[in-house]
Amino acid sequence: MSTTAILRSAVFPRATTYSKALLVTFGTLFIAGLAQIALPIPGSPVPVTGQTLGVLLIGASYGSQLGAITFVTYLLVGFAGAPVFAKGEHGFAHLTGATGGYLVGMLFASLLVGALAGRRWDQRLLSAIPTMLLGDVVIFSFGLYWLHSFTHQSWAWTFAAGFTPFLIGEALKIAIAGTSLPLVWRFVQR
């Protein structure tokens, strides 16, 4: 049994539908809250947000299945009209617009990070940082390809608008997620 499963069973003795719904609700609100930390990038349709930090933390904390369900719930709530996307925006246009690839990438990143956390990669600094980095690689792979296809701009423009401005923020997010989870596990295991 993974440590994530042990932690969940300690907090919620039986994984009931109610407890899972609470986790999904909390995770959706957590991602939505971090998405509101949004800084526009001049010349880019993609803002820097805290959303990726939320996806990495939820994926690692919840595991691949519940993490992905949480992110899909976040997307559905936003598509239905709740102002959960960056800058309080909503609507299906976010999936079909310039930022759609980043959202799709976040779904796959939550699956990957959750699967690696299920193998306890989130419990030690030497494996947690690469786990979060892999999650970011997935997000940006989908995001950049989609941005390039959507805008029909050159790859140089795509990287300048959709990757380069994010490097410092993503390094900070990876450092936060990659160092906080091993510390939390160390505390939980005591």
What tens digit of pLDDT does each residue of 31-85 get? 999 999 999 999 999 999 999 999 999 998 888 999 999 999 999 999 999 999 9
- Candidate from 12-16, 111-115, 123-127, 128-132 with smallest mean pLDDT: 12-16
CATH for 3-189?
Answer: 1.10.1760.20
**Averaged pLDDT of the chain:** 88
Of the pLDDT bands very low, low, confident and very high (cuts 50, 70, 90), residue 9 is low
More confident residue, 118 or 31: 31
Mean pLDDT over 101-105 rounds to 96
Reply yes or no on whether the pLDDT at 1 is more than 90: no
* Residue written as token pair 């109610």: 18
Reply yes or no on whether the pLDDT at 125 is more than 80: no
3-state helix, strand, coil in the chain (%, to 5): 75, 5, 20
Residue 39 pairs with which residues in a beta bridge? 48
Provide the residue ranges of all domains of the chain, joining segments of one domain with +: 3-189
Under a CB-based contact definition with an 8 Å cutoff, are residues 183 and 60 in contact? no
**DSSP character at residue 152:** -
pLDDT value, residue 2 = 52
* Residue written as token pair 């949004």: 38
Mean pLDDT over 9-31 rounds to 81
Q: Which region, left, alpha or beta, applies to residue 2 given φ > 0 means left and ψ of -120 to 50 means alpha? A: beta
pLDDT value, residue 17 = 86
Query: What tokens were used for 96?
Result: 């079909």
pTM of the model: 0.87
How far apart (Å, rounded) are the C-alpha atoms in residues 124 and 131? 10
Reply yes or no on whether the pLDDT at 168 is more than 80: yes
Residue 85 pairs with which residues in a beta bridge? 89
Under a CB-based contact definition with an 8 Å cutoff, are residues 60 and 110 in contact? no
Reply yes or no on whether the pLDDT at 6 is more than 80: no
Mean pLDDT over 6-17 rounds to 59
